[in-house]
Amino acid sequence: MGFEVDSGGFYGEYGGAYIPEMLYPNIKELEDNYMNIVSSDSFQSKFRLLLRDYAGRPTPLFRAERLSDHYGTQIFLKREDLNHTGAHKINNTIGQILLAGHLEKKRIIAETGAGQHGVAAATVCALTGMECIVYMGALDVERQAPNVKKMKMLGAKVIPVYSGNKTLKDATNEAIRDWINHPVDTHYIIGSVVGPHPYPDMVTRFQSVISEEIRIQLMEKTNRNYPDYLVACVGGGSNAAGAYYHYLEDDRVRLISAEAAGLGVGSGKTAATSLIGTPGIIHGSRTLLMQDDDGQIEEPYSISAGLDYPGVGPLHAWLAKSGRAILYAITDDEALQAAFLCTRKEGIIPALETAHALAALEKINPGAEDVVVVNLSGRGDKDMEIYIDKLNLSDDDKQD
């Protein structure tokens, strides 16, 4: 079974470019050029240099001894949290800003939910002197004030979006509308492996540096270049796509995707898209999404803003449908417990998104000799308010 995108932009039955004609020239320009540009030596040398000297790659693969003892297996953490700006998101924004330069674009737009991608986009715009406009749901602007301030300090203009439910889905709509209205000078840096073809494939390629490094690092540490289990959280699916990429066709590797169950898969307050979603079109892509019987897209819920998306990248829809990836839905509480465990056992405070991947360790039952790699997609600085809030609650519980 193939997991590379086909010439029409599909993974199996998912993907494609379901866009209005107004957007066609923009997408066509990208589609015609991205492969040539991205595979050229001049692009690759600039990309590799920035990943190394600016983002701080390669990120370490860390043998987590105490977590391994706890679960009775061999756990390695791929430390994407140690990237500049604190998550894997920068791998993609570096790639896309270089691409935008090759296409002679003058203006960058991006969407953001929690603000992680917005900060990563604003960062590379500051680095290259590009104008940067970030669309962010008005509700998220309120909830994620520190990242809004960071983006502003970096020189980006943050535009609050008041349409729809005022969150990530609506910010993405608004970024697409901006792009429709600026078809010539603007590049849209999308934040995950979502949207119309060629975005899912392009972003996957930029993130694939993660699995490229895992192969080399595992060889050094375990004498073989693949794990038995590879675990990642899936919002849109970019960190997972990057961690899986070089193992997609390698059946020795079990791919474990952790989705956000929110308050529970059946609770109506969830973001477990692959599990409860049905096929449809969102943001120009045919994929699995949360919708009602009238085809209206529903608002997801998760404690983690970065997983709070009603769709999923078409590659992940295909991995789920074909059975290549095994999915677990992780509730808010399970994620919080996993975050606290990782913090106490390893001295690493993970992002709330990442905590969902860590919580999947409770579910998979690996053997003592098995090698488990968890993609530690980001650090928890941005989530301290929630963590502190929950910690205080459990302290109070004890005093009662």
Partner 1 sequence: MTINRIDQLFRERKGEILSVYVTAGYPGLNDTGRLLEALQEYGADMVEIGIPFSDPLADGPVIQQSSQVALRNGMKLDLLFSQLKEIRATVEIPLLLMGYLNPVLQMGMEEFLSRCKDTGIDGVIIPDLPPAEYETRYRELFRSYGIYYSLLITPHTDNERIDRIAALSEGFLYLVAEASTTGARDSVGDHQKEYFQRLREMNLPVPGLIGFGISNRETFLTACSYARGAIIGSAFIRALGENNALTLEERVEKFIRGIRGA
Ligand X SMILES: Cc1ncc(COP(=O)(O)O)c(C=O)c1O
The answer, yes or no, to whether the previous bond of 20 is cis (omega within 30 of 0) is no
Is 377 designated active site?
yes
Residue whose CB is less far from partner 1, 195 or 227: 195
Question: In the window 311-340, what residues touch partner 1 (CB under 8 A)?
Answer: none
- Note whether 122 binds ligand X by CB under 6 A: no
- Note whether 282 binds partner 1 by CB under 8 A: yes
Take residue 56 and report the two structure tokens written for it. 């701080």
Is 212 designated active site?
no
d(CA 123, CA 107): 14
> What's phi and psi for 295, nearest 5 deg?
80, 15
Question: In the window 145-164, what residues touch partner 1 (CB under 8 A)?
Answer: 163-164
CB of 263 to partner 1, least distance (A): 22
CB of 118 to ligand X, least distance (A): 9
Name the active-site residue from 89, 105, 150, 382.
Answer: 89
Is 267 designated active site?
no
Q: How many whole angstroms from its chain centre is CA 268?
A: 23
Within 10 Å of residue 172's Cβ, how many Cβ atoms? 29
Question: What sections of the chain are H helices per DSSP?
Answer: 24-39, 41-50, 65-71, 89-102, 116-128, 138-143, 145-153, 168-181, 199-207, 209-222, 238-244, 273-276, 314-321, 332-346, 352-359, 361-364, 384-399
Take residue 208 and report the two structure tokens written for it. 């694939």
Residue whose CB is less far from ligand X, 198 or 237: 237
Residue whose CB is less far from partner 1, 23 or 258: 23
d(CA 20, CA 208): 30
Residue whose CB is less far from ligand X, 108 or 335: 335
CB of 234 to ligand X, least distance (A): 5
- Note whether 195 binds ligand X by CB under 6 A: no
- Note whether 377 binds ligand X by CB under 6 A: yes
Of positions 16, 137, 237, 277, contacts ligand X by CB under 6 A: 237
Residues 106-118: b if buried by 16+ CB within 10 A, e if exposed: ebbbbbbbbbbbb
Name the active-site residue from 274, 377, 382, 390.
Answer: 377
306 binds, among partner 1, ligand X, none (CB under 5 to 8 A by kind): ligand X
234 binds, among ligand X, partner 1, none (CB under 5 to 8 A by kind): ligand X
CA angle (337, 338, 343) in 5-degree steps: 100
Question: In the window 256-315, what residues touch ligand X (CB under 6 A)?
Answer: 306-307
Q: Which range binds ligand X by CB under 6 A, 29-37, 123-131, 154-162, 229-237?
A: 229-237
- Note whether 354 binds ligand X by CB under 6 A: yes
Q: Which range binds ligand X by CB under 6 A, 47-55, 227-235, 246-254, 291-299?
A: 227-235
Of positions 353, 358, 383, 390, contacts ligand X by CB under 6 A: 353
d(CA 31, CA 49): 25
Whole-Å CA distances, 237 to 218, 234, 249, 292: 23, 4, 18, 23
d(CA 71, CA 50): 37
d(CA 286, CA 10): 9
DSSP 341-365: HHHHHHS--B-HHHHHHHHTHHHH-
The residues binding partner 1 (CB under 8 A) are 16-25, 163-164, 169-170, 173, 176-177, 180-181, 183, 279-284, 291, 293-297
Residues forming the active site: 89, 111, 377
The residues binding ligand X (CB under 6 A) are 87, 114, 116-117, 192, 233-240, 306-307, 351, 353-354, 377-378
